[in-house]
Amino acid sequence: MHELSIVCSIVELASQAAQGRSVRRVTLEIGKLSGVEPQAVAFCFPEVARGTPVEDATLDIREVDAEARCDVCGAEFPTPDMLSACPCGSRQFQRLRGEELNIKSIEVEEAA
């Protein structure tokens, strides 16, 4: 379960970004072909965040659909799995989206 180490890194980065303040929300983008299970991230988050500035934060996970551009015909098309092909039949393409794992935003309490 590599999601545990990923969540540890997210909590550490969010805590550093908060600079001593409480984190209100962490927003993630997780590509559907990233190999990261959003449910596992959500499961680990509260436990890892306990006792940190991120403890009471809301975790917002946005799943990113996978898309590619065909090298042959130039069409952009969804790639729901790693074995997808372009509607033209080609398997030569460049992934545009769907493999990312990003911290999109970290919202912190206003400084007193």
Binding residues for Zn(2+): 70, 73, 86, 88
Which residues, 6 or more positions from 62, have their beta carbon under 8 angstroms from its beta carbon?
27, 28, 29, 30, 104
Show the CA angle centred on residue 19, arms to residues 13 and 20, nearest 5°. Answer: 110
Contact 92, 57 (CB under 8 A): no
* H-run or E-run covering 38: helix 38-49
Binding-site entries for Ni(2+)? 2
Binding-site entries? 2, 70, 73, 86, 88
Q: Among residues 60, 97, 66, 93, which one has the least CA distance to residue 79?
A: 66
